[in-house]
Amino acid sequence: MFSKDTYIARREGLKKSVGSGLLLFLGNDEVGRNFEDNYYRYRQDSSFLYYFGQPYAGLNAVIDIDNNREIIFGDELSIDHIVWMGTQPTLHEKAHGVGIDTTLPSADLRKYLDAARAAGQRIHTLPTYRPEHQLKLWRLLDILPGTDTPSVDFIRAIVNQRNYKSAEEVEEIERACNVTADMHIEAIRCTRPGMKEYEVVARLEEVAAANDCTLSFGTIATINGQTLHNPCHSNTIGPEDMLLVDAGAETPMGYSGDMSSTVCAGKKFTPRQKMVYDIQVASHRAAVEMLRPGVKFLDCYEKSAEVICQGMKDLGIMKGDPVEAVKAGAHAMFFPCGLGHMMGLDDHDMENLGEVYVGYDGKPKSTQFGRKSLRLARELEPGFVLTIEPGVYFIPELIDYWGAEGRFKEFINYDELNKWRDFGGIRNEEDYLITPDGARMLGKKIPLTTEEVEAMR
């Protein structure tokens, strides 16, 4: 944890920003996987971590701005719990560690909220992303599950703090990025034809565990890189396959790294693979070169998409003006996802609070296929931490779907495209901090080009 002053200052900033009412923070509970005592790995809610630091289940908190009170609600461990799971700091110690003097039993939270409602106080809540949160709101506020209305003022105030990473946060994120880079370097070094994807997963996840880290999201390691979030690890890696790895470490404090790499199964990429790989790298670099305060991330996305379209045109797969193709949305045949996302306590930072607030500053998102998947579009500011991860994907089902409709025939040469339909997909991903005059890559460098990958094989 950071020092208690960090948490005190964050809560002070939040109180000032929201101004009035009562802020309700629901901590996360343990969740049984297949029976109650067989939990998923516990993860505290990230906003709870940000303001209250404590990574323990069974806590909720209130910042009562109107009455200037901060309270953590929880219960001391029972002897049964201690026998089963060991001890923890007392509730008072947990609260004291983050500069809070008042603790109350969990059962008192409902009474506290009843009194606040009776006094006409506004109770600000956040969007729910776990059924347990909806059930808690139902029990605490008499709101039927799924009918809560999150407070936009509360969301915006949190986003306006968490989007700007402090120096101590950047240090922690960089630690996650360094471990993440080592995970990728291990995967790039160890991948061989004949291995199962899961054997590579075992090797790279060992790196996280050996550095006292967990995973910031479920590892992707697939020879079917055209599936953007492929969770399957059971394929055998063939001699001419590429393995797309997207994996990240999470530090014990909850900060994330998130990188991707694409490695050839053999010692060298095939000439065809290299042609597409070079396009992906050019697109990646074009976006990185634009990173600085004042630039809209949407423009970085447009630029990276244009570079992909130009590359596809050079291969004879696309035709026409790349800028017009991107405007129309034809690039989404190859790049149907975003360019990157904010990163911090979550891999996709604050996605639970709403992409529109985090990545769009409250402005509406496009509904166009491809462009609608852009998680970040707003003007960049110093302190933002984000990923850069354009990809080039050949998705047979999408080729057939659009092809049958003749969609974007003026930009896509379907006869030529069909010759590439089984190519797969390529993505490389790095993490950046926006600085006052540009951007700084976070963590050790991982191979980006075919030459850099081959040098490690």
Residue 6 contact among ligand GLY, Mn ion, none, beta carbon within 5 to 8 Å by kind: none
At a CB cut-off of 8 Å and minimum separation 6, what does 395 contact?
226, 227, 333, 336, 425
The contact pattern for ligand GLY, residues 113-132, with x = CB under 6 A and - = no contact, is --------------------
To Mn ion, the closest distance from the beta carbon of 119 in angstroms equals 44
- For Mn ion (CB under 5 A), the number of binding residues is 2
Residue 217 contact among ligand GLY, Mn ion, none, beta carbon within 5 to 8 Å by kind: ligand GLY
For the chain, what is the largest distance between any 2 Cα atoms, rounded to a whole number of angstroms?
72
- Residue 398 backbone class (left: φ over 0; alpha: ψ -120 to 50; beta: rest): alpha
To ligand GLY, the closest distance from the beta carbon of 348 in angstroms equals 6
Q: Does 351 bind ligand GLY (CB under 6 A)?
A: no
Q: How many Cβ atoms from other residues are within 10 Å of residue 115's Cβ?
A: 11
Say if CB 247 and CB 184 are below 8 A apart: yes
Q: Does 304 bind Mn ion (CB under 5 A)?
A: no
The contact pattern for ligand GLY, residues 24-53, with x = CB under 6 A and - = no contact, is ------------------------------
**Given 258, 302, 346, 430, the residue binding ligand GLY (CB under 6 A):** 258
Q: Which is nearer to ligand GLY, 63 or 339 (CB)?
A: 339
Q: Does 250 bind ligand GLY (CB under 6 A)?
A: no
The contact pattern for Mn ion, residues 232-271, with x = CB under 5 A and - = no contact, is --------------------------x-------------
The contact pattern for Mn ion, residues 167-196, with x = CB under 5 A and - = no contact, is ------------------------------
Residue 430 contact among Mn ion, ligand GLY, none, beta carbon within 5 to 8 Å by kind: none
The contact pattern for Mn ion, residues 32-71, with x = CB under 5 A and - = no contact, is ----------------------------------------
Q: Does 387 bind Mn ion (CB under 5 A)?
A: yes
To ligand GLY, the closest distance from the beta carbon of 195 in angstroms equals 22
Specify the amino acid at residue 266.
Answer: G
Q: Which is nearer to ligand GLY, 258 or 430 (CB)?
A: 258
The contact pattern for ligand GLY, residues 180-219, with x = CB under 6 A and - = no contact, is -------------------------------------x--
Q: Which is nearer to ligand GLY, 140 or 287 (CB)?
A: 287
User: What residues make contact with Mn ion under the rule CB under 5 A?
Assistant: 258, 387
User: What residues make contact with ligand GLY under the rule CB under 6 A?
Assistant: 217, 246, 258, 347
